Structure 1
Amino acid sequence: MSEFETTGPERAGPERRPRVCVVGSGWRFTGGLSHYTCRLAGALADRSEVSALLMRRLLPRALYPGRARVGVKTAALDYDERVDVFDGVDWYWLPSLFGALRRLRRNRPDTVVFQWWTGTVAHTYLVLAAAARARGARVVVEFHEVQDTGEIRIPFVAAYTRRVLGALLRRSDAFLVHSEHDRQLLGDLFDLSGRPVTVVPHGPFDHYAVTHRPSPDGVFRLLFFGLIRPYKGLDVLIDAFHRLAPEEVSSFHLTVVGETWEGCTEPIEKIEASPYRDRITLVNRYVSDEEAKAHFAEADALVLPYRRSSASGPLHIAMSNGLPVVLSAVGGLVEAVGEYAGAVLVEPEDVPGLADGLRKARAAAGTRYPDPHTWQRNVEAILGRSAAAAEGGTR
């Protein structure tokens, strides 16, 4: 029997397709996990009966850093019509939780896959996991972050999340992570009691695939894309950009696209005071999918100077478009680009090294690289038909 094969009273057999429920982020608080949940559900629909339970109001709006855009439609992506979608469960539960429990009862999934990225969903996940297990479903937790970097810094929130997450993991049968780095981190933090942890790469974000638009003046266009948070290292990138000599910088242009979180204003201040301000475009807000596509269409390379990271949605957008990527050798990112020929790895917070990385990317101008990632690996890992075939293997 495969490690992810259903063991409940309604174990999937040849007479019917397996039933899978994906629990993750909805569109009201749109982010990378909203897209991931949608793409995973669609990929699973090719081989199983799929339902999705979405977290709708993740937390009180006043506490959300991007509160101004909550409820604003920014995603061009939508769920596959084969997926039964419940949108969704609110942080405060009433009455939405009862609707989610009714869907679980009606759809009777063999496997429920929880997408983990923030402690705000912990209490809801714990209840849904208990309900799933009571009906004989197998519970799988897929990790994108073991704990959000902003939450770690708040003592009460960090302790609460660790405790409730631990309770969820004790009720889980198996786990998915995106890198060996995260597998080790998860094992160091929690006693998984010999239950399987499968390393499976993040699926491609090829719904952002675009046709590249060459620069009319031959300038090499760098792109920083994503939330502006302390761990993202945008300040390091600005410092590295300043390391370029005046005669060099005329052949570069840097575009920064992102919404400021956690009071991370230092990079913005550096941009406004930059001696190369005319070579930097700043879009300091969360952009729609269509705007994101336009920025990637005009980019010649993506730069991710992270101080730490388990995974990165912008990285997978860039790889789906074959772009050169300059990124820090941290966390799960090294493994994510292990088979991607367009990656230029630099040490985190190494300003001269990052400046050299920008030059190396410039030397590869016009080159496009194949993306090694597919959703098939994720589907195989969840359905358990051939988990060993997933690169990274089972540990």
Structure 2
Amino acid sequence: MRIAYLSTFYPFRGGIAQFNASLFREFEKRHEVAAFTFTRQYPDLLFPGATQYVTPSDRVDAIPAAQVLDTINPLSYFKAARALEAFKPDLLVMKFWMPFFAPSLGTVAGRLRKRGTRVVAILDNLIPHERRPGDLALIRYFLRRNDGFVAMSETVERDLKQFLPEAQYVLKPHPIYDHFGSAISSAEARAKLGLPRDKRIVLFFGFIRDYKGLDTLIRAAAHLSEEYCVVIAGEMYGDFAKYEALLDEANVRSRCKLFIRYIDDAEVPAFFSAAEVCVLPYKSATQSGIVQIAFNFDLPVIATDVGGLAEMVEDNLTGLILRTHEPQALARLIRKYFAENLREPFSRNLAQRRHSFSWAGFAEAILSLHESIVRR
């Protein structure tokens, strides 16, 4: 089968690009695959991070992708469609995570469908975490230009059914990010990062945005003793000043270690090997790639009961689920995790579940969906 994959690839960086690279590598084992990506992914106004692109220090899987689509130049939509048509794909795969991409991806998808190519979109989110006027209309526009969908959480599945009750789809959880390599010893990891060897290390990891609840974790740290160290690692989307002020207001600087920058793939094993638990105090979510990074290192997760997080983290088996957003409740759950020595049994459970989150299984789900679309 000939598969065209239009989404974020090298030279762009971040979790979406990592996901696409892993799935591309799985597809190419059995099929002819061509990657297509953006000439411009976001205008600077919509990207508050440091850079959208890989830097010389980044360790990436440089998928050879043709840069064909400018998201804010409608003329490029038709040029991109012609480039994909020239490949003559049987299947077009795309990833959708915010309404901003609906006009560009939807236009390309619509043109290829008219020429007989089947189109499947992998849905990270449908309803955005931070809504803007016109979002719902854009989502509808995009959905109607696809043949099938992969929902990675039950929350997205429900949203999809509300928008498109007749949608043909498969529910398949986010695979484990296994391209980071193996864990290293806790002592080595802590030495690399300059972290104390005798503290209980709690990790908050990933791009920092308001909906991810870092403020809740910082306030929770005020209810933890000095034997804890909260590691905050990730690039800030916007201004970190409000969190700096909160660290002082809560008087927790002494038990927080900050790495406020983009974390390169080569550094990831150190953070997840140094930590004893990963905390996701999200205020809204559908699913999270951070959970699947943690699971790659058999690191249990404490997460709030929002979106699909409780589907990914099995309460009292692979982590703990917080039913409220109160900082004191989060602190109690963190203390419970350590007091009851839950790391070892939860890690064993994670190791036994890895096969359920394989890239091979995810790719096969897409191909089976394609077959059912063709037969319809």
Q: Shorter-chain TM-score: which interval?
A: 0.7 to 0.9
Say whether 1:104 aligns with 2:77: no
TM-score by length of 2: 0.86
Aligned AA (1:20): I
Structure 1 residues 331-350: aligned runs within 5 Å:
331-338=307-314, 341-350=317-326
Change (3 A) 1:260 1:348: farther
Give the alignment of 1:118-197 within 5 angstroms. Answer: 118-150=98-130, 152=131, 154-155=132-133, 159=134, 161-188=135-162, 190-192=163-165, 194-197=166-169
In the other structure, the counterpart of 2:358 is 374
Deviation at 1:137, TM superposition (A): 0.7
Deviations 1:40-98 (A, max 9, x none): 111111222112221341222243211x3233426423156xxx621342223487556
Q: Are the equivalent residues in 1 in contact too, given 2:218–2:252 (CA < 8 A)?
A: no
Aligned to 2:261: 285
Q: Is the 8 A contact 1:26 1:56 kept in 2?
A: no
Task: Give matches, 1:270-309, under 5 Å.
Answer: 270-309=246-285
**1:55 & 1:172 partners in 2: Cα distance?**
19
Structure 1 counterpart of 2:192 = none
2:172 is the alignment partner of 1:221:
no
Distance (Å, rounded) in 2 between the aligned partners of 1:373 and 1:253? 30
Residue 255 of structure 1: how far off its partner (Å): 0.6
The one-letter code of the counterpart of 2:53 is: G
Q: 2:296 matched to which residue of 1?
A: 320
Distance 1:35 1:257 in 2: 18
Which letter maps to 1:191? Answer: L
CA distance in 2 between partners of 1:127 and 1:386 (Å): 20
Once the two structures are TM-superposed, the CA of residue 353 in structure 1 deviates from its matched residue by 2.4
Q: Give the SS at the match of 1:165.
A: helix
| Residue in structure 1 matched with residue 181 of structure 2 by the alignment | 209
User: What's 1:243 paired with?
Assistant: 223
Q: Residues 62 and 27 from structure 1, CA distance in 2 versus in 1: closer, same or farther, beyond 3 angstroms?
A: farther
Unaligned runs of 5+ in 2: 188-195
Partner of 1:92: 72
| Match of residue 13 from structure 2 | 30
Residue deviations 1:246-277, cap 9 Å, x none?
xxx23211110122225564333222444332
- Give the % identical residues: 29
Q: For 2:35 and 2:42, how far apart are their aligned partners in 1?
A: 19
* Secondary structure class of the residue paired with 1:115: strand
- Considering fraction of residues, name the structure with more helix: 2
- Report the secondary structure of 2:275's partner residue: coil
The C-alpha deviation readout for 1:232-253, integer Å capped at 9, x for no partner, is 0111111112112xxxx23211
Distance 2:228 2:325 in 1: 21
Secondary structure of the residue that 2:186 maps to in structure 1?
A: coil
Query: Which residue is 2:171 aligned to?
Result: 199
Residue segments in structure 1 that go unaligned for 5+ positions in a row: 1-17, 389-395
Q: What SS does the corresponding residue of 1:202 show, helix, strand or coil?
A: coil
Q: For the residues of structure 2 that align with 1:75 and 1:374, how far apart are their CA atoms?
A: 25
1:12 is matched with which residue? none
Q: Quote the Cα distance in structure 2 between the aligned partners of 1:319 and 1:56.
A: 33
Give the secondary structure class of the aligned counterpart of 2:179. helix
Size of the aligned set, in residue pairs, is 355
TM-score with structure 1 setting the length:
0.82
- Provide the secondary structure at the position in 2 that maps to 1:270: helix
- Tell me which stretches of 4 or more aligned residues in structure 1 moved more than 6 Å: 385-388
Aligned partners of 2:239 and 2:51: how far apart in 1?
17
Counterpart selection for 1:364 from 342, 347, 353? 342
Greater mean deviation of Cα atoms: 337-346 or 166-175? 337-346
Give 1:210's aligned amino acid.
Answer: S
1:57 paired residue number = 40
Instruction: State the partner residue of 2:190.
Output: none
Determine if contact 1:307/1:348 at 8 Å carries over to the other structure.
no
> Which AA in structure 2 matches 1:378?
F
Q: Deviations over 1:182-208 (max 9, x none)?
A: 1112222x134x231210011111112
Residue identity opposite 1:383 in structure 2: L
Cα deviation, 1:307-337, whole Å, max 9, x if unaligned, reads 1111111111000100021111111111122
Partner Cα distance (2:268, 2:252) in 1: 24
Aligned partners of 1:334, 1:282: CA distance in 2, in Å?
27
**Other-structure match for 1:71:** 53
| RMSD between superposed Cα atoms in Å | 2.6
